[in-house]
Structure 1
Amino acid sequence: MFSSFLSRFIQITDHFTEWLGKTIAWLTLAVVLLSFSVVLLRYGFNLGWVAMQESVLYAHGAVFMLGAAYTLKHDGHVRVDIFYQKFSAKQRAWVNLGGTLFLLLPVCIFIFYVSVDYVLLSWEILEESKEPGGIPAVYLNKTLIWLLVLTLSVQGLAEIARNLLVIYPKTTPPSDSISTAEKE
């Protein structure tokens, strides 16, 4: 019963994270096109708009902040795996569980804690760009910090559930939600 709940939670979280990651990936194309346009307009036509330049920064920030959970889901974060690559699936699950519980989630809590005043103040004053002609929504950009924490924490909980199902295999995790590390 509990393992079916965990499996369902993993499926829902993985589905959302997959959708978000693929959606956000399109912003990389926007970053490239906007960057190209900024350079072309600036050096080719001696034109430029601060809002256009800032939009590149906003989109770039969104890609990193909202793409972190997708990267976690696909086991794409940096890892020194001298020993890890030789571990069994159960040993890897223990390492991943410990890393998530003692590193990932505490860092997410810390990031949220230190950013509360920063983001709330920005919303309170509806912070705008300091540059004339800039984007008048800096508070939305700063909110990406909380979205990073939210998406990364929820995906972290899914990783905890996935690793628990590997460690205590009464039922196997859903086939579409097994991380790449467990497939090897």
Structure 2
Amino acid sequence: MRFLAWVASLICAVNLLIGRSFSWLALAIVVVCFTVVVQRYLFSVSHLWMQDLYVWLNGAMFMAVAGFALLRDDHVRVDIFYRPAGIRTRAIADLIGVVLFLLPFTWVVYTYSLPFVIRSWGYREASANVGGMPGLYILKSFILAFAALIALQGIAMAIRSVLVLSGNSELVPESIRYRTDQTPADHTVGGL
């Protein structure tokens, strides 16, 4: 069981590192978007590659931080029943949700996007706009990263559920412990 707890801890550390790193893209998006607006409306200058850039940064950020959001429990959840439920009930709900919904979803996303991404890499796809950004194939690769990071965090959630249901809840990594205070999440994972 300690090995499972270590694996969950490792997955959470990966998603925490990637999430913290890629969340800085939000600032870059704001700066690039602001620059595009200022150039267009004050100087009547427009660079299509900059317009592509902030859209692409947005897509990369949201796909890369999806696992981090799942780690922090930031995804939308109808918790009319979940929030007041006991820890064992939450563990059962999470285990069923991960096995029946999350992992199959990530498998479908990965399976159907892989040929799409391979084809894009094959001809080094760039923006469809003349004067746009090169390297669209790199952005499309984030679809695979999205599926992998969400699946990994789902596995960490399943491990948490197994540890709780087996009576080893003390082994659950701090970053993914169930909250027992019956209040909305405070989202302070890892000192954020």
Distance, in Å, in 1 between the alignment partners of 2:173 and 2:111 is 36
User: 1:21-79, CA deviations, whole angstroms, 9 ceiling, x for partnerless residues?
Assistant: 11111000000111100000010101111111111011100111011100100111111
Alignment of 1:165-184 (within 5 A): 165-170=163-168, 172-181=170-179, 184=182
> How far apart, in 1, do the equivalents of 2:135 and 2:42 lie?
29
Give ranges in structure 1 of 5+ residues lacking alignment: none
* Local SS of the residue matching 2:23: helix
Distance in 2 (alpha carbons) for counterparts of 1:154 and 1:125: 30
CA distance in 2, matches of 1:100, 1:181: 19
Partner Cα distance (1:155, 1:163) in 2? 12
Any stretches of 5+ residues in structure 2 without a counterpart? 183-192
Q: 2:83 matched to 1:72?
A: no
Q: Which residue of 2 aligns with 1:36?
A: 34
Q: Does structure 2 retain, via aligned residues, the 8 Å contact 1:10–1:177?
A: no
Matches within 5 A, 1:55-134: 55-134=53-132
Across the aligned residues of Structure 1 and Structure 2, the Cα RMSD in angstroms comes to 1.4
Total equivalences in the alignment: 182
Contact 1:74 1:179 survives alignment (8 Å): no
Once residues 73 and 83 of structure 2 are traced to their aligned partners in structure 1, the CA distance between those partners, rounded to angstroms, is 13
TM-score by length of 1: 0.94
SS in 2 for 1:172: helix
- CA shift at 1:182, angstroms? 5.5
Stretches of 4+ aligned residues off by more than 6 angstroms? none
- Distance in 1, matches of 2:178 and 2:73, equals 7
Tell whether 2:45 aligns with 1:9.
Answer: no
Deviations 1:74-101 (A, max 9, x none): 1111111111112100100100111111
Structure 2 length as normaliser, TM-score? 0.90
- 2:19 corresponds, among 21, 43, 65, to 21
Q: Which amino acid aligns with 1:133?
A: G
